[in-house]
Amino acid sequence: MSDSIILGIESSCDDTSAAVLKGNKILSNIAANQEIHQQYGGVVPELASRAHQQNIIPVVNQAIIKANIQQKDICAIGFTRGPGLLGSLLVGTSFAKSLAMSLAVPLIEVNHLQAHILAHFIDDANPKPPKFPFLCLTVSGGHTMIVIVKDYFDMEIIGKTIDDAAGEAFDKIGKIFGLDYPAGPIIDKISKVGDGSIFKFNKPKLDEYNYSFSGIKTSVLYFIQKEVKKNPDFILENLNDLCASVQKTLVEILMDKLEKASLDFNINEVAIAGGVSANSGLREAMQKNAEKLGWNIYIPKFEYTTDNAAMIAMVAKLKFDRGEFADLSVSATARYDIEEEFKKEI
Ligand code: KG4
Ligand code: ZN
């Protein structure tokens, strides 16, 4: 692996992030979160684009200063081309193109989902990187899927959600409980002082390795509406156990399919990636399976779980070594399947 310096830029949703990578070592990884969305209970696309425009230059500058490099040291610029919110992606894409042109360095497009998975190869993401082929449960606010990662650029999606993503389920159920957006980390924190066996919610029955999360959201909603009619303080009095029970159910749904995939494909190298991989219940369940089923598990460091530019720089670096550059006419794309990425001629 060459020691080239790569600048990564991520702007697919509501985090504006820039990172500097040298070899596979992160020199800086800066992110500006957009608190503006909290009051709306979800990301408002137009406000996200505007905040990206305000944040992008300060964030990139900070990443360069923190890495202790100069603009002229940058060998290439990697940016998230998709999937994500188009308006948000356009800000990062346009900025990356202009900077690449002014510095006269190659531009490299990156698939955001592939980046969540390949974040495992950042120098300090894991004590040791996963071995191919490995299974990667990729769980975020927009996606939930089980991927067989055969190589850096050879991945197969074997299962995915047919409706909501796991992170979306955490966030929407949290909203029912009156929690702020994003509710995933809040539910995780509250769960630590609750009893997850108090409330039972039905789990979906789906074939193969596919997921569904809209049913549990609806059953929580009906259950809460019924209980609040009897006792208006029901949520307040039971919040800890409600959060713990929801988290336990969501983690079980995720792990049941991952275990089935590991068994059916006879793969014991198992990783998690994406924002929901920060969840402590999911991390504990992975740890248990390492002991019970002999899995070699890969759980990325917290800063590489939720959206970050370090993972974008990592993929850009792998593409840089292959000489896989984007044309300056490249445009952002809201939908961008990982498998589509590998069908392209190189
Ligand atoms: O990967 P990410 O930052 O953005 C997307 O690409 O979607 O994931 C964000 C999602 C949100 O739904 C958020 O609630 C969830 O990840 N999340 C968590 C935790 N931390 C972030 N969900 C459960 N437990 C957490 N600790
Ligand atoms: Zn993401």
What value does the mean pLDDT take over residues 118-133?
Answer: 95
306 lines ligand 1 (CB under 6 A): yes
Report the separation in Å between the CA atom of 298 and the middle of ligand 1, taken as the mean of its atom positions: 18
The Cα 45–Cα 270 span in angstroms is: 34
Residue 346, pLDDT > 90, answer no
Task: Taking residues 306-322, report their average pLDDT.
Answer: 97
Answer whether residue 329 shows pLDDT above 90.
Answer: yes
CB distance 277 to ligand 1 below 6 Å = no
Cβ 204 vs Cβ 198: under 8 Å: no
- Cβ contact 80:115 at 8 Å: yes
Q: Does residue 339 have a pLDDT over 80?
A: no
* pTM greater than the 0.75 cutoff: yes
53-66 pLDDT, tens digit each: 999 999 999 999 99
- 127-299 is a CATH 1.10.1740.10 domain: no
Asked whether this chain's domains 5-119+304-345 and 127-299 adopt the same fold, the reply is yes
Assess whether the C-beta atom of 13 lies below 6 angstroms from ligand 1: yes
Q: At what angle do helices 214-230 and 234-265 cross, to 10 degrees?
A: 160
- What is the CA(226)–ligand 2 centre distance, in A? 35
- Which CATH number applies to 5-119+304-345: 3.40.50.2030, 3.40.1390.10, 3.30.420.40, 3.40.50.1370? 3.30.420.40
The answer to whether 67 and 28 are in contact (CB under 8 A) is yes
Sign of CA dihedral 228, 231, 236, 240: negative
Q: Is the CB of 140 under 6 A from ligand 1?
A: yes
Question: CA nearest 309: which of 20, 13, 95?
Answer: 20
CA distances from 75 to 107, 115, 187, 245, 313 (A): 9, 19, 41, 49, 11
Separation between Cα atoms, residue 100 and residue 106, nearest integer Å? 6
DSSP character at residue 202: P
* Residue among 29, 89, 116, 170 whose CB has most ligand 1 atoms within 8 A, to mutate: 170
**8 Å CB contact between 59 and 31:** yes
Ordered by start, the domain boundaries in the chain are 5-119+304-345, 127-299
The predicted-structure confidence for 211-270, as pLDDT tens digits, reads as follows: 999 999 999 999 999 999 999 999 999 999 999 999 999 999 999 999 999 999 999 999
